[in-house]
Amino acid sequence: MQNKEEKLIIQGGNALKGEVNISGAKNAVLKLMAASLLSNDICVIKNVPELSDVEIMIEVLSELGAVIDYNKLDGILTIDSRNITSVVASDIFVSKMRASFVVLGPLVGRMREACVAMPGGCQIGERRVNFHIKGLQAMGCQCDIKDGYVYAVAKELKGAEICFDIPSVGATENIMMASVLADGVTVIQNAAQEPEIVDLANFLNAMGAKIEGAGTNQITVHGVTLSDLHGVEHTTIPDRIEAGTYMSAVIATMGHAFIKNIYPNHLTIFTGKLLEMGAQIKLVEPHIIEVSADRRLSPMNFITQPYPGFPTDLQALAMTLLSVANGISVVTESLYENRFMHINELWRMGANIKQSNNHAIIKGVDYLVGTEVTCTDLRAGAALVVAALAAKGESTVKALRHIDRGYEKFTTKLQGLGADIMRVPVDYQQEDVLAQELTQL
């Protein structure tokens, strides 16, 4: 991964053409890595993307005593969890990435105790852990929050019926993993239904767990013993959000490209909205789609919802497309209160967007103008890159650490599609000189 701070220099206006391969899903592989803690054996995960979030999760698991080999060239991760030496996931790593909080469930399941730092990551809004804790408490686990850590101890872990007030991906995953080694049957009502949860259940079932209903709003887990679980070799599903990002980039630049290694049914709602806007999208083969656009898009309204609804992770990208659509659109963000931070950056590029609480009213402009923008979170960063690719003139995109969390070889893949994009070091001395010159004008 990149250690020094860098920025992207993008010359907009090039129609993206060619083909791009989608990497393994970030939001799936991180949970598969956590799930490996349940097995007293060696697990092999394939199609693992090279991301900073993966590196952080490796640090978390290593701190717990897992022995890990990561072949970045082949995208293969081997995790040996036979000798877990600690149940403490420290703030050093967990505070950097929310997804690492899902080690709580497998640690409680296997070790019957855990001490996990409160989660961090992109500051897109409040993401509470109360669903995780209430679920574990229903299974007989004593949980306390103190000094920024969740302390969980279970003398006995018993199956229970757990109903979430709203679907929570992380809580569904944590409770599902904890219940694998619980005594009895656990039923999770109003469970999250994301494809990544299905992938996790498939991984656990291949390991020897007994999970039914993943992908529906009711998941049933029949508890097994540690001796029932064994090592597993599993290939991660493609990243639907990465696929949606490249679809957006091609459409924004009036390009024509083939998106390969994709599960189209994971993007049904998003694809339907793009078609409604006037994009052309065709299924070429079961895992390849053809995407193009040859005219200005029509406006469109949408509300972000838990899967299978419109993905919140693609909201910023859709807003970028709507910024140059022919008319007025309304976007409602129903999941995270701070997920409109990219609006300020799009304003800088000439977008006409008015925000009212969790609603954004977007009046399409003829074109965006290149300028300097800063990534505010992972998906907003990708949206700003797409905006820069479509804009007139040169743009600079900074704070790439956000993008590195979730996009493998982002610059290289875009260059492969014909984008005029370079990743260069930030020269603070030069920028300070320019700033001083501007203040003197």
At 384, the amino acid letter reads L
Measuring CA to CA, how many Å separate 426 from each of 331, 360, 408, 423? Answer: 34, 32, 20, 9
Of 390, 355, 395, 391, nearest to 371 by C-alpha is 395
- Grouping H, G, I as helix, E, B as strand and the rest as coil, residue 299 is coil
Asked whether the beta carbons of 382 and 407 are under 8 A apart, the reply is yes
Give the bridge partners for 70, in sequence order: 77
141 among known catalytic residues: no
**Tokens 């508890």 sit on residue:** 223
Binning the chain into helix, strand and coil, the percentages to the nearest 5 are 35, 25, 35
Q: Which residues contact 344 (CB under 8 A, 6 or more apart)?
A: none
Q: Which of 273, 295, 299 minimizes the C-alpha distance to 363?
A: 299
Q: Please state, in angstroms and as integers, the Cα–Cα distance from residue 66 to each residue in 86, 351, 409, following that order.
A: 9, 48, 27
Q: How many Cβ atoms are within 10 Å of 319's Cβ, its own excluded?
A: 24
Alpha helices in 290-427 (DSSP H): 315-322, 342-348, 378-390, 401-404, 410-416
Give residues with Cβ within 8 angstroms of 3, minimum separation 6: none
Nearby residues of 148 by Cβ (< 8 Å), 6 or more positions away: 91, 117, 118
Identified catalytic residue from 122, 141, 143, 375: 122
CA–CA gap between residue 32 and residue 76 (Å, rounded):
13
The residue assigned the tokens 């293969």 is 76
Indicate which residues carry an active-site annotation.
Answer: 122
